[in-house]
Structure 1
């Protein structure tokens, strides 16, 4: 059996069901960060996913045919996560998108979420709505010109920051950034 389990982005942001699935798993895969968040719940073997490709996906799914396997996904597996990449059952988690919106006091239904993490895009046609962009330090804020933005860096960590300014005057400094662009 394979479960893709959202583990949140900080300690304490994990559901009771997610804890149980992790505790019952014989093998738990995840990034170093994901495994650090759930270390106290892992009773079986933990394996760090240093990269992800089709071969790794196939290996994990083969193991899940014989064993109870969990793939730990930071945040929510269905918000720019691993949920769509595996055939297993998905257990949601609290995503960085949800944490950012809570910090901003903005309803999710009023924004368009765009995943620009390790991706490139030249043009956004969604500028008539709030945008919440998952980004890394390579993301170029200048595409928004002189618009007001809020950059949320390293949510739920000791060096969490919220930076306010104009897009063309700011630069991302963290690979764990969320950019909020007002309508």
Structure 2
């Protein structure tokens, strides 16, 4: 029986699909994913299921189509704060095939020409921001995934209130024509309006510990 393929689609544009992801997507007859990914990456002949806040329905849909070539489109990499965590509570490893993708964290650090093996990766997407400042305070390099209720200006305000002096890069709409990287200190970014900017990754640096060349220059 074919396994359910969880395809990491990176930022969601074809330019960032890996060859393995492209092959899996071409072979799929049934595809589940968010609206943006379904519109951008699927064919008219593929049966589609839109994932919103309906994860229980996703499981039922996948089981109903067992035996078919089923794919799930996952933003970034499925294993980095992605849907894989949820699915592993409902399916065994033998039922799943995970195809890695380029995560927004990878892309953000690539844009900044920074290594990220020593970065702490956090997410405020769909999570409480309580304790976030404490989690960042003693780290030299942090990548933070933002989301509804945890916009970059809100996070910057928390850092400002916590007296954290950091250089922050807000990397938004990565991989799309309207991609933008906004750099500043917490007090500067707290005063900015980030409405209309989606899928932002905040790279938060304690420059006193890193010794990077020109790390304070904005883009």
Q: Considering the TM-score relative to the shorter chain, is it more than 0.5?
A: yes
CA distance in 1, matches of 2:115, 2:37: 26
1:23-46 residue CA offsets vs partner (Å, 9 max, x unmatched): 211200010122233235x75212
SS at match of 2:59: helix
Matches within 5 A, 1:69-148: 69-86=70-87, 87=91, 88-123=96-131, 124-127=134-137, 128-136=139-147, 138-139=149-150, 140=154, 141-145=156-160, 146-148=165-167
CA distance in 2, matches of 1:168, 1:52: 37
TM-score, normalising length: structure 1: 0.88
Structure 2 gap ranges (5+): 207-219
1:88-124 residue CA offsets vs partner (Å, 9 max, x unmatched): 2211011111110100111121211101112212223
Structure 1 gap ranges (5+): none
- Work out whether residues 147 and 200 of structure 2, in 8 Å CA contact, stay in contact via their aligned partners in 1: yes
CA distance in 1, matches of 2:42, 2:66: 24
Off by >3 Å, runs of 4+ in structure 1: none
CA distance in 2, matches of 1:97, 1:118: 17
Matches within 5 A, 1:9-48: 9=11, 10-39=13-42, 43-48=45-50
1:167 aligned residue: 186
1:176 aligned residue: 199
TM-score, normalising length: structure 2: 0.75
Aligned-CA RMSD value: 2.0
Higher strand share: 1
Q: How many residues align?
A: 181
CA distance in 1, matches of 2:64, 2:24: 16
